[in-house]
Amino acid sequence: MSAKSSIRWFSEIIGVAYRYYDLRMNVIPLFRDRKEATKIWNEVVNWWSDSSIKIRFVETEDSNWFIMGSDSMRPDTNMSFFKILPKSKHYERFKKGHGGEAYLRLGTYTKKYKNDVKDDAICDCSHMKEDHDDSEDNDECLYEDCDCKKFESFQLNLYPRKKKKIVTDIKFFQESDVKEDPLTWNCLYVHKYKSQEK
Ligand SMILES: [Zn+2]
Ligand SMILES: [Zn+2]
C-alpha cells in the first residue's frame, strides 16, 4: 500500500468557526460535544508540534473543503480532519485577514434563543435582543433594514478552554491545484475522486 492510504481521516467535524479579535485569527473546528472535543485534543492535537500543522482550504464550485493534519509525536493515535462546508462570508474574511498564521482551538457551539439570553445578547443578525420584538410569538428584528425574523445567537465554547496551537502553514487552493499538496490531494482523492472512478 502507498503512504496515501495510511492517513486516518476524521470526518465528523460539525463545522468550523472563526474568531477575529485575538492577536491572531482563530480557526476553531467544532465537535459534537465537550467530551469529543476534549478527547480529540488530548489524543491527537496535543501531540502536534506547531510547525508541522497544516490547514488547507479548497474552493470548489459550490463549497469549501476544510482540511487539517500534522505529523504527530504519537503517530498511533494521529488523525487528519476534513469537512465540506458551504461558502461563507466568515471564510472569506479569514482568507483575507489571517496574515499567514492563526490560532487553532477546538470547540462546540450551541444555539441560544430569545428566552435563553439577557437583553444585551447579540443576535446572528448583529443586533441586540432588545432590538427585537419582545412579544411571545414574534422575535422580529426592529431595525428597518434588517430582515431577521427570529432571534438566534450562536454561542461558541472552547475545549479544552485555554489550549491552543499556532498554525503557520495555511494554504488556499482551487480544486484544479490540489495535486500540488500531498495532504490535500490525499483528502480529495479518498473522499471525492476515488468513488467517482468506480
Ligand atoms: Zn436578529
Ligand atoms: Zn437585526
CA of 144, nearest ligand number: 2
Q: What is the pLDDT of residue 196?
A: 79
Please tell me the distance between residue 110's alpha carbon and the centre of ligand 1 in angstroms: 16
Report pTM: 0.84
Structure-model confidence comparison of residues 5 and 55, the more confident one: 55
Q: What is the pLDDT of residues 18-64, one digit of tens each?
A: 998 788 999 999 999 999 999 999 999 999 999 999 999 999 998 99
Please tell me the distance between residue 162's alpha carbon and the centre of ligand 1 in angstroms: 30
Confidence band for 198, pLDDT divided at 50, 70 and 90: low
Neighbours of ion ligand 1 (CB under 5 A): 123, 125, 141, 148
Q: Which residue has the cell 492563526?
A: 102
Pick from 15, 1, 9, 59: nearest CA to 183: 9
Cα–Cα dist 13/97, whole Å: 23
Q: What is the pLDDT of residues 82-133, one digit of tens each?
A: 999 998 889 999 999 999 999 999 999 999 999 999 999 999 999 999 999 9
Torsion region of 100: left, alpha or beta (phi above 0 gives left; psi -120 to 50 gives alpha): left
Strand bridging mode 169-174 / 25-30: unpaired
| φ, ψ for residue 31, nearest 5 deg | -120, 170
Answer yes or no: are the C-beta atoms of 55 and 100 closer than 8 Å.
Answer: no
Q: What is the pLDDT of residues 135-165, one digit of tens each?
A: 989 999 999 999 999 999 988 999 999 999 9
CA of 124, nearest ligand number: 1
Is the confidence at residue 4, as pLDDT, over 80? no
Answer yes or no: are the C-beta atoms of 58 and 173 closer than 8 Å.
Answer: yes
- Region 159-184 average pLDDT: 96
Please tell me the distance between residue 139's alpha carbon and the centre of ligand 1 in angstroms: 8
